[in-house]
Structure 1
Amino acid sequence: MVGSAPPAHTVPPPRRPPDPSGQVRRWYEDGLGWATVPGSPLRLAVGLRFDVLDVPEEAGRAALRHLRQDSPVALQDGRMRFLVAADSARELPGLLSWLEWGSLALDLTAVGEGGVIDAPLPPAGPARRDPAPGAPRSGTAGPEPLQGAAVWLRPPEPGCEVEASLPTLSALGGGGSAPDLVRLVETVATHCHRIRLRRASAQPLAFS
């Protein structure tokens, strides 16, 4: 009688290390209630809880005084991204026209419904506010962000009502604590124009 073969021993697959992107995704979705977009790198859906005003970092730093300290601001590739109230992107063209900037090509854009932005790493602890340009930024979770990655200059705070800190048109002439979107746009538009003039004056003259 031929005996049955002994059961084959299977080697369990090696455990994968925890996926840091999953932790970051949970920080945004569970801690802040912000929608993320599937895929890598991790991106945030814009237009649901906030819109984004994208300007050169130089122009953005001049406008930080118009914001509350808890109003989220991110940096990436020399650009500053202000989180502003939802629907602000639709208001921007009319606002620039009202401020008499509508006829000029300014290096500022607004991202609204249907848009996405790269998700900066969450802060690991108390983040250092408003570091000098080019200085290393502390307070991010895990290793230093890769070159060109988005980082928080002023991170959002889980458990807080982020919308209350976002610049909005409704703050104009009102008694609320939300920052005024008009002052923010006026300041960044003015500095974008100055940057544009400075770059134009630095161009060599063309001779025919």
Structure 2
Amino acid sequence: MLFDRPIFGGRALGPRGRARASRCRAVAEYTLTLGWTAVLAGSELPPASSPDQVGDLWLRHPGAELRLRTGIGFDALDVPEQAGFRALVRLERMGVRPGPVLAAGDRALFLVAPHTAEVLPDLLYRTGWDDAELDLRCHGPGGSVPAPPTALTRWLRPPTPESAARPPEARLLLGTLAYACHRGVAGLVGRR
């Protein structure tokens, strides 16, 4: 258990309340354990937010979408889900640790070192992918990404305190991600 005391003051919670408590624990884990900034209903919960702050915000906005702020502890490389799966398999075969990876809807989000958004055009140029048609985006300062647990969001590679504190440099993943994205575009040519 994340806290020394129960969330929501130990009240009996029905099935919906248990789901809410599970999401509340996830927010606390993101902020307290991993040191990330969470966003709920437009309100930021910075790293080391107290369990009371997390619980109070959840009680005020029980159905709000949970998001993680990018640009502070990490940026996120955003690719189509199938390209993300192909890249994950390839990276693991090469012995590269991809860090935390999210599946959100039909997208895969690879959490990488902060400031990647600023240097991405240069990285793509240096790796020869600057003129390729890629479905690859980067979420950086001022942005956010959806966070589990929700119906459409799950961890493909969950964060650990180590990977959260030191996400991989984008240059280690970018060639494989670009190749997987480019291969996906080439596979769709001629299809209707």
2:74 is aligned with 1:50: yes
The 3-state SS of whatever aligns with 1:202 is coil
The 3-state SS of whatever aligns with 2:108 is strand
* Structure showing greater Rg: 1
| Structure with more of its chain in helix, by fraction | 2
Match of 2:116 in 1: 88
Distance of 1:184 and 1:51 partners within structure 2: 13
1:156 aligned to 152, 155, 159, which one?
A: 159
Q: Structure 2: where are the runs of 5+ without partners? A: 1-10, 42-63
Distance of 2:186 and 2:30 partners within structure 1: 39
Give CA-to-partner distance per residue, 1:24-57, whole Å, 9 cap, x none. Answer: 2212111211111131111111111000001112
User: Alignment length, in residue pairs?
Assistant: 149
Shift of 1:106: 0.8
Structure 1 residue ranges (4+ consecutive) displaced by more than 6 angstroms after TM superposition: none
- State the TM-score, normalizing by the size of structure 2: 0.69
Distance of 2:186 and 2:163 partners within structure 1: 39
Distance of 2:110 and 2:180 partners within structure 1: 15
1:26 aligned to 16, 28, 34, which one?
A: 28
Q: Percent of aligned pairs with the same residue?
A: 38
- State the TM-score, normalizing by the size of structure 1: 0.64
Distance of 1:73 and 1:200 partners within structure 2: 28
Shift of 1:100: 2.0
2:174 is aligned with 1:185: yes
Give CA-to-partner distance per residue, 1:76-131, whole Å, 9 cap, x none. Answer: 1221110000001111111112222212331010100100111112xxxxxxxxxx
2:182 is aligned with 1:201: no
Shift of 1:154: 1.0
Distance of 2:164 and 2:176 partners within structure 1: 23
Distance of 1:162 and 1:27 partners within structure 2: 11
Q: Structure 1: where are the runs of 5+ without partners? A: 1-14, 122-144, 169-180, 204-208
- Whether the aligned pair in 2 keeps the contact of 1:85 and 1:163 (CA below 8 Å) is no
2:141 aligned to 94, 113, 120, which one?
A: 113
Q: Which amino acid aligns with 1:42?
A: L
Distance of 2:163 and 2:86 partners within structure 1: 25
- Whether the aligned pair in 2 keeps the contact of 1:25 and 1:36 (CA below 8 Å) is yes
Match of 1:175 in 2: none
Q: Which amino acid aligns with 2:176?
A: T
Distance of 1:150 and 1:41 partners within structure 2: 11
- Alpha-carbon spacing, 1:63–1:198, altered in 2? closer, same or farther (3 Å): closer
- Alpha-carbon spacing, 1:28–1:195, altered in 2? closer, same or farther (3 Å): same
